[in-house]
A and B are shown apart, each in its own frame.
Chain A
Amino acid sequence: METFATIVPLVVFIPLGGMIINMIFGRQLGEKGVGAVASVAAASAFGVAALLFFALSRFGYEAAVINPPVLTSWISIPSANIEIPWQFRVDTLSVTMMLVITGVGTLIHIYAIGYMHGDSRFVRFFMYLNLFLAFMLVLVSANNYLMTFVGWEGVGLCSFLLIGFWFDRKRGDGWKNSNAARKAFIVNRVGDFGFLMAIFMTFWTFGTLDYYKPGEPVHAAEAAITETAVAPVAEGGTSGEGGTSSEGGHSTTAYAGPKGIFGQAEDMLREGRTIRFGNTDVPIRVVLTLIVLFLLIGVTGKSAQIPLFIWLPDAMAGPTPVSALIHAATMVTSGLFLMTRSSVFLAAAPAATFVITVVGAGTAIFAGFVALGQWDIKKVLAYSTVSQLGFMVAAVGLGAYSAAYFHLITHAFFKALLFLGSGSVIHAVEHGHEHAHAHGHDEAGAHDPSLAHDDHTAEHALHAIADDIGAHGDPSILHDDATHADAAHAGGQHTATNTPIPETAEHEAVFDAQDMRNMGGLRHRMPITFWTYLIGTLALAGIFPLSGFWSKDEIIGAALRSGFTNGELKGFIAFVLLLLAAFFTAFYMWRQIRYVFLGTARTEAAENAPESVNLMTIPLIVLAGLAILGGLLNIPLGISVGAVVLVVAIFAAVVFLLALRSQRRTISGGMLGFQLLIGVIVVGVAFAFGNSVEGLTLWLEHSVGATMNLGPFNPLLAIIALVVAVGGILLAERIYGRLNPLTRKGRDPLEARADTRPAFALANAKGYTDAIYGALIEQPYNRASKWLADRLDWDFWHNWFHERVIFRGFNNAANFLGEPVDRQGIDRLFLLPSRAIRWASGRLRGLQTGYVRTYTFTMLVGVLLVIFLILFPLLRQLIGG
């Protein structure tokens, strides 16, 4: 296994290589080439992940810790006992994530080739996408917290880059995009603070950051393997012991080598150790609770839970593939991944898990509620994502890791599908808008349809940031009415091309291609998109036998068990809230279907919307297939596998035939064949899993430290969940089930009714979260920074200190030194000899009288002097004697 798993660095390097190739040769390759390189890189990474998957299943699900070829030690300070290596961990958990990431990622890459067609920075987009893949894979394949953190930060960076991809839009739109990107980054940063604190505490407590050292077995997994049936193990403080007891009875060989954090945690829990923090001794359980709570902060940041979810709706400013990949399928799930990895900690911290559950469930229902009132198609999906993440986090809090993971995978399928579908819709509406207003601008190639709608997403982001709290109760006011509006905002290219035509002046209001009120009746215009979108919606709502049904049911079942069977409060709370959230989910998704696809077209743009290109629809189809068949991953106990497979297969066939029938007009041979191929592949996968009930659970148990808290299939609960979902759909159908759901004034029916209007307004205003954050955090922060900049830095430091004290003081000192010291003093001193000489020479000049007689006289005086000198002894003698 070890030797086979040494290919795992490739899974990181192949996307990196793709990025580099695109970086260097991007220009030469052209759009198709660049897209091909990126997609091939993603697909190759998928291939490597698949190989690892097969290797794992072949070799007994052992985890392998691989050191990359060159980087033998990453951070190594032997004297301080700090050893943090760059090690890849190949185990079932990470391989699962890899498969999801690369699989969905490949599809989205292919989709993006068509979506980003004509963009000026095409190459860079794919570079960023590949970079994101690389970082995400680093995150999931890490064997220690720090490497995970590297991936964590890296995906945050790529998210920033990609959200703000269109930062150079004109007329302020670019600013909206970059603001959204910055918001995402900063909010993530806040979460990262929590993560870092958790890392520090972990390192302090355990002395290492490795999950498991090479060769160290995962105890609970071992224990789970040796038991055929998994009994529900009581949570809360005893998982350690429970694991130990079962371990004690069935351990194969006791592992005596160095242990990673989880192994050490288990040992410490057994021993009841206390950790010394400065002057205080803290019991290990408290330490673990703190660590988990800090991790929770990180998770709320990355996985968009309360309170740090605010960036996700604004992140819709990015291109749709980005939203699909990052903010639906992969990045936002990294929080989940982290939690699952740290399951040992969670198992030891019941208080923390309570908080986690409450946070998750609260997020689920809150976001579900807000999604009811959104008009933007992508915003609905964004809040839906937040809500579903809440589901997953709640599941993790309840200890149902496999349920959370199951939901993660299925959510990746159908949420990516929904996002890509929405991108297709938006694309089509923009095209329709163009064709509808035939202003002679046939530069379809020059026209970048992707510009317009995402502009408006950025505008939404701008509103979110702006400080007007209640002014935009109805964002529809700020946009154009449902009537025609020229896409004057579409990158300014319209204005460039149609100057002499007076219609430009008329339609100066902005056309929002993402507003659902501008759509309608797209079912007949875009059949493939419609059918796949419908499948995604049903999967999300949780309709039997689609994948969402199974995964959501597991989560609710875990909540039920936790609440009723185990009597935990969090279970009760989670059960109630999650059920309500499921209701909301079905409701707003059907609302969206009615607004977008059913009914009649409300605008000319919708009337003329074309179906998207193959590059875009094929991934939709593949994802739809996965959304249907995803439930086969983890068939719960108590249900016959074969029955499920059969039902699912029939359902899939029906759907596909229906789809086939409706698009016979535009069918092409290749598309049909492709669909059939998908079906074959999926059935094959189903067989691969088919021999194991609870396939995912058992698969994951090899890697997850704590127990999984599973239970058998509860048909009553399944029916209740189904009733809830269907009830939501029916209610939505009742309210919106008209040709034109909008009222005469163009308002939502809920808004029109007086009793539901406050609720709708609250939902539409996103619960005023942005306003609250603005008032509580941003404004004081801005004020403080303004004060610091203007008063402290500029007025005091610069104006006073630098100017007066340093500059003037220095000047004065220099002047002092220059003027009195240098000029007056020193110069005078040195001029003194010259002046003296001049004076002396002036005096001596008088000797040169020019008169011979004086010269003669002088000579004679000199002669006399000489004679005196010569005769001096004689004269002295004379005088003396």
Chain B
Amino acid sequence: MTLELIIFLIVAAVAIFAAAFMLVSRNAVHSALFLVTNMICLAFMYLVLNAPFLAMVQITVYAGAIMVLFMFVIMLLGAEKLGETPTRYKWLPIAGVGLATLFLVTAYFAIAQGNVGALKPIAKSPRVRVVHVGQGVPPVTVYLNNDRVTDSVGYGAASGFREVRAGDYNLLVFASTNGLTPDPTKDSPALAQPISLRAETATTIIATADRLIVVPEDLNTIDAVQTVRYTVVNALPANPPINFISIDPANPNPAPEDRAKYITILAPALPYGEFSRTTTLPAGKYKVAWEINNQRVNAPADLDARENTSQLIILYPEAGPAGSPTGRSTELVLADRTTSAFGGPNNIGETLFTTYLLPFELVSLLLLVAMVGAIILTREETVKRERKRVVVSNSAGVRRLNQVSASAMSLTEHKKPSEGAAD
């Protein structure tokens, strides 16, 4: 009986009672207000259910717009007073209650026995991408068992993420010879090693000249928004360990004694084929460089660390235009967005505008049409025209109706519903 549960029960009770009063109330305005109460309670529920955005939308749209519209119409029509005309189908409420009871019972059993609570969130399938930084190696094609992950990835290039099923695979790297696509059945892989892929992970496979560096990453939510997560990979062969440093731009080349003031070591002593621990940085622009034994290897490069990204920095030997090594090293920065918080507006927005764009458009179109229709429906001429078009048969009811409509030409005065309903 935690606090949450208590609050939940209270709110739920309020919601149910509000709904009940809404049903029972004679006064339409009261009913509307009760409904608003109900909606607010539901908004609270949404909050409990990790749907902040929806909670706000509920308040705004439902309670704020729709119910207001209801109110407008109620007041317009003066429907707070309802006539006491005898009902036609007396059995209907009783049958309805019976139905409702039946439904509830069924639902209860369905829910109770359905093990709804045992539902598990859907796990995201692992993702894989390949980076090729092997010097002197022709473009590679990577296969996971018999599944081709990437097409030929050129030197210094990285493929996009590809979702694969979680499991254990045999990673096969084929080097395309003579520009032809290698055939996994015939050719022998250049490199092969087993790999295991788990859900909720994103794996980057870096192909160097002689080895594969597998870098798992977690692309889930970063708690602190204004942070950047980074990982540095050393793909420079035949080199002693590297220090990956960020340089204060004010003083790019400080003296050794000022090093501590102006230079921050982001990834210390990273040997070849290893990757650093994933750490975070505050977002911003940095000047980074790497050095060997405190000797700067390259000129400082810019690192644009945006928030909510996960940066993978790969250091690899540079290749000249002809593919020959130049002797220098360069970096490859792969920045990926991390996912937003579940239920947050970011998340919803992302999903809305990527996966569900089309329904969104359609629904908005629908809304537009509804607006226009509502306007048209309530125009004077429409009503009049409808009145004239009424006669379809000559039954007594229709004739009476026409008499009524003929006598009710003036729209400005509206009769009381009791009088109107007496026909």
Residues of A within 8 A of B (CB): 851, 853-854, 857, 860-861, 864, 867-868, 871, 874-875, 877-878
Q: Is the CB of A857 within 8 A of B96?
A: yes
Which chain A residues border B95 with CB–CB below 8 Å? Answer: 857
Q: Is the CB of B106 within 8 A of A871?
A: yes
Instruction: Judge if B88 is at the interface, Cβ distance under 8 Å.
Output: yes
Which chain B residues border A851 with CB–CB below 8 Å? Answer: 88-89
Instruction: Judge if B99 is at the interface, Cβ distance under 8 Å.
Output: yes
Q: Is the CB of B103 within 8 A of A864?
A: yes
Which chain A residues border B109 with CB–CB below 8 Å? Answer: 871, 874-875, 878
Q: Is the CB of B103 within 8 A of A854?
A: no
Kindly provide the distance from the CB of B100 to the nearest chain A CB, expressed in whole angstroms.
Answer: 9
107-140 of chain B: CB within 8 A of chain A: 109-110, 113-114
Which chain A residues border B92 with CB–CB below 8 Å? Answer: 853-854, 857
Task: Give the residue of A857, A864, A867, A878 whose beta carbon is less than 8 angstroms from that of B113.
Answer: A878
Instruction: Judge if B334 is at the interface, Cβ distance under 8 Å.
Output: no
Instruction: Judge if B102 is at the interface, Cβ distance under 8 Å.
Output: yes
Q: Whole-angstrom distance between the alpha carbons of A874 and B109 in the complex? A: 9
Q: Is the CB of A871 within 8 A of B89?
A: no
Which chain B residues border A854 with CB–CB below 8 Å? Answer: 89, 92
Q: Whole-angstrom distance between the alpha carbons of A878 and B96 in the complex? A: 25
Kindly provide the distance from the CB of B161 to the nearest chain A CB, expressed in whole angstroms.
Answer: 38
Q: Whole-angstrom distance between the alpha carbons of A877 and B112 in the complex? A: 13
The 9 tightest CB contacts between A and B, nearest first, are A871-B110, A860-B99, A853-B92, A878-B109, A864-B103, A874-B113, A857-B92, A878-B113, A867-B106
Kindly provide the distance from the CB of B69 to the nearest chain A CB, expressed in whole angstroms.
Answer: 21
Which chain B residues border A860 with CB–CB below 8 Å? Answer: 96, 99
* Contact A868/B106 with A854-B89, A874-B113 known, Cβ cut-off 8 Å: yes
Q: Whole-angstrom distance between the alpha carbons of A851 and B89 in the complex? A: 9
Which chain B residues border A857 with CB–CB below 8 Å? Answer: 92, 95-96, 99
The 23 listed contacts between A and B (C-beta, < 8 Å) are: A853-B89, A853-B92, A854-B89, A854-B92, A857-B92, A857-B95, A857-B96, A857-B99, A860-B96, A860-B99, A861-B99, A864-B99, A864-B102, A864-B103, A867-B103, A867-B106, A867-B110, A868-B106, A871-B109, A871-B110, A874-B109, A874-B110, A878-B109
Q: Mark B71-107, 1 if CB is under 8 A from A, else 0.
A: 0000000000000000011001001100100110010
Which chain A residues border B110 with CB–CB below 8 Å? Answer: 867, 871, 874
Which chain A residues border B106 with CB–CB below 8 Å? Answer: 864, 867-868, 871, 875
Q: Whole-angstrom distance between the alpha carbons of A874 and B107 in the complex? A: 11
Q: Whole-angstrom distance between the alpha carbons of A875 and B108 in the complex? A: 11
Residue of B nearest to A853 (CB): B92
Which chain A residues border B89 with CB–CB below 8 Å? Answer: 851, 853-854
Residue of A nearest to B87 (CB): A853
Describe A's contact surface by its main secondary structure. Answer: helix
Which chain A residues border B113 with CB–CB below 8 Å? Answer: 874, 877-878
Q: What is the size, in residues, of chain B's interface with A at 8 Å between Cβ atoms?
A: 13
Other A-B pairs beyond A871-B106, A871-B110, 8, CB < 8 Å:
A857-B92, A857-B96, A860-B96, A860-B99, A864-B102, A868-B106, A874-B113, A874-B114
Which chain B residues border A853 with CB–CB below 8 Å? Answer: 89, 92
Kindly provide the distance from the CB of B105 to the nearest chain A CB, expressed in whole angstroms.
Answer: 10
Q: Whole-angstrom distance between the alpha carbons of A851 and B90 in the complex? A: 13
Q: Whole-angstrom distance between the alpha carbons of A173 and B103 in the complex? A: 115
Residue of B nearest to A867 (CB): B106
Q: Whole-angstrom distance between the alpha carbons of A867 and B103 in the complex? A: 9
Q: Whole-angstrom distance between the alpha carbons of A877 and B109 in the complex? A: 11
Which chain A residues border B114 with CB–CB below 8 Å? Answer: 874
Q: Whole-angstrom distance between the alpha carbons of A851 and B88 in the complex? A: 9
Q: Whole-angstrom distance between the alpha carbons of A154 and B358 in the complex? A: 110
Kindly provide the distance from the CB of A847 to the nearest chain B CB, expressed in whole angstroms.
Answer: 13
Kindly provide the distance from the CB of A846 to the nearest chain B CB, expressed in whole angstroms.
Answer: 13
Q: Whole-angstrom distance between the alpha carbons of A263 and B299 in the complex? A: 159
Q: Whole-angstrom distance between the alpha carbons of A857 and B100 in the complex? A: 11
Which chain B residues border A868 with CB–CB below 8 Å? Answer: 106
Kindly provide the distance from the CB of A851 to the nearest chain B CB, expressed in whole angstroms.
Answer: 7
Kindly provide the distance from the CB of B210 to the nearest chain A CB, expressed in whole angstroms.
Answer: 59
Kindly provide the distance from the CB of B328 to the nearest chain A CB, expressed in whole angstroms.
Answer: 67
Q: Whole-angstrom distance between the alpha carbons of A51 and B110 in the complex? A: 134
Which chain B residues border A861 with CB–CB below 8 Å? Answer: 99
Q: Whole-angstrom distance between the alpha carbons of A878 and B105 in the complex? A: 12
Q: Whole-angstrom distance between the alpha carbons of A875 and B114 in the complex? A: 10
Q: Whole-angstrom distance between the alpha carbons of A861 and B92 in the complex? A: 12
Kindly provide the distance from the CB of B89 to the nearest chain A CB, expressed in whole angstroms.
Answer: 6
Kindly provide the distance from the CB of B17 to the nearest chain A CB, expressed in whole angstroms.
Answer: 23
Q: Whole-angstrom distance between the alpha carbons of A877 and B110 in the complex? A: 11
Q: Whole-angstrom distance between the alpha carbons of A332 and B110 in the complex? A: 128
393-419 of chain B: CB within 8 A of chain A: none
Q: Mark B13-35, 1 if CB is under 8 A from A, else 0.
A: 00000000000000000000000
Which chain A residues border B88 with CB–CB below 8 Å? Answer: 851
Kindly provide the distance from the CB of A848 to the nearest chain B CB, expressed in whole angstroms.
Answer: 14
Which chain B residues border A878 with CB–CB below 8 Å? Answer: 109, 113
Q: Whole-angstrom distance between the alpha carbons of A699 and B95 in the complex? A: 136
Kindly provide the distance from the CB of B114 to the nearest chain A CB, expressed in whole angstroms.
Answer: 7
243-279 of chain B: CB within 8 A of chain A: none
Kindly provide the distance from the CB of B86 to the nearest chain A CB, expressed in whole angstroms.
Answer: 14
Kindly provide the distance from the CB of A353 to the nearest chain B CB, expressed in whole angstroms.
Answer: 112
Residue of A nearest to B96 (CB): A857
Residue of A nearest to B102 (CB): A864
Kindly provide the distance from the CB of A571 to the nearest chain B CB, expressed in whole angstroms.
Answer: 121
Q: Whole-angstrom distance between the alpha carbons of A819 and B95 in the complex? A: 53
Q: Whole-angstrom distance between the alpha carbons of A877 and B99 in the complex? A: 22
Q: Whole-angstrom distance between the alpha carbons of A723 and B410 in the complex? A: 149
Q: Whole-angstrom distance between the alpha carbons of A854 and B103 in the complex? A: 18
Kindly provide the distance from the CB of A529 to the nearest chain B CB, expressed in whole angstroms.
Answer: 108
Q: Whole-angstrom distance between the alpha carbons of A567 and B89 in the complex? A: 139
Kindly provide the distance from the CB of A163 to the nearest chain B CB, expressed in whole angstroms.
Answer: 89
Residue of A nearest to B93 (CB): A853
Which chain A residues border B103 with CB–CB below 8 Å? Answer: 864, 867
Kindly provide the distance from the CB of A657 to the nearest chain B CB, expressed in whole angstroms.
Answer: 125
Residue of A nearest to B109 (CB): A878
Q: Whole-angstrom distance between the alpha carbons of A878 and B99 in the complex? A: 20
Q: Mark B379-390, 1 if CB is under 8 A from A, else 0.
A: 000000000000
Q: Whole-angstrom distance between the alpha carbons of A874 and B114 in the complex? A: 8
Which chain B residues border A875 with CB–CB below 8 Å? Answer: 106, 109
Kindly provide the distance from the CB of A860 to the nearest chain B CB, expressed in whole angstroms.
Answer: 6
Q: Whole-angstrom distance between the alpha carbons of A853 and B90 in the complex? A: 11
Kindly provide the distance from the CB of A270 to the nearest chain B CB, expressed in whole angstroms.
Answer: 117
Q: Whole-angstrom distance between the alpha carbons of A867 and B96 in the complex? A: 16
Q: Whole-angstrom distance between the alpha carbons of A864 and B88 in the complex? A: 24
Q: Whole-angstrom distance between the alpha carbons of A864 and B89 in the complex? A: 21
Which chain B residues border A877 with CB–CB below 8 Å? Answer: 113
Q: Whole-angstrom distance between the alpha carbons of A857 and B95 in the complex? A: 8
Kindly provide the distance from the CB of B138 to the nearest chain A CB, expressed in whole angstroms.
Answer: 57
Residue of B nearest to A870 (CB): B110
Kindly provide the distance from the CB of B144 to the nearest chain A CB, expressed in whole angstroms.
Answer: 39
Q: Whole-angstrom distance between the alpha carbons of A826 and B92 in the complex? A: 46
Kindly provide the distance from the CB of A182 to the nearest chain B CB, expressed in whole angstroms.
Answer: 83
Q: Whole-angstrom distance between the alpha carbons of A871 and B110 in the complex? A: 7
Q: Whole-angstrom distance between the alpha carbons of A629 and B230 in the complex? A: 169
Q: Whole-angstrom distance between the alpha carbons of A864 and B102 in the complex? A: 8
Q: Whole-angstrom distance between the alpha carbons of A867 and B95 in the complex? A: 18
Kindly provide the distance from the CB of B221 to the nearest chain A CB, expressed in whole angstroms.
Answer: 36
Q: Whole-angstrom distance between the alpha carbons of A860 and B102 in the complex? A: 11
Q: Whole-angstrom distance between the alpha carbons of A835 and B268 in the complex? A: 96
Q: Mark B144-177, 1 if CB is under 8 A from A, else 0.
A: 0000000000000000000000000000000000
Q: Whole-angstrom distance between the alpha carbons of A424 and B92 in the complex? A: 126
Kindly provide the distance from the CB of A297 to the nearest chain B CB, expressed in whole angstroms.
Answer: 98
Residue of B nearest to A877 (CB): B113
Q: Whole-angstrom distance between the alpha carbons of A429 and B134 in the complex? A: 159
Q: Whole-angstrom distance between the alpha carbons of A285 and B88 in the complex? A: 123
Which chain A residues border B102 with CB–CB below 8 Å? Answer: 864
Residue of A nearest to B91 (CB): A857
Q: Mark B341-375, 1 if CB is under 8 A from A, else 0.
A: 00000000000000000000000000000000000
Kindly provide the distance from the CB of A604 to the nearest chain B CB, expressed in whole angstroms.
Answer: 103
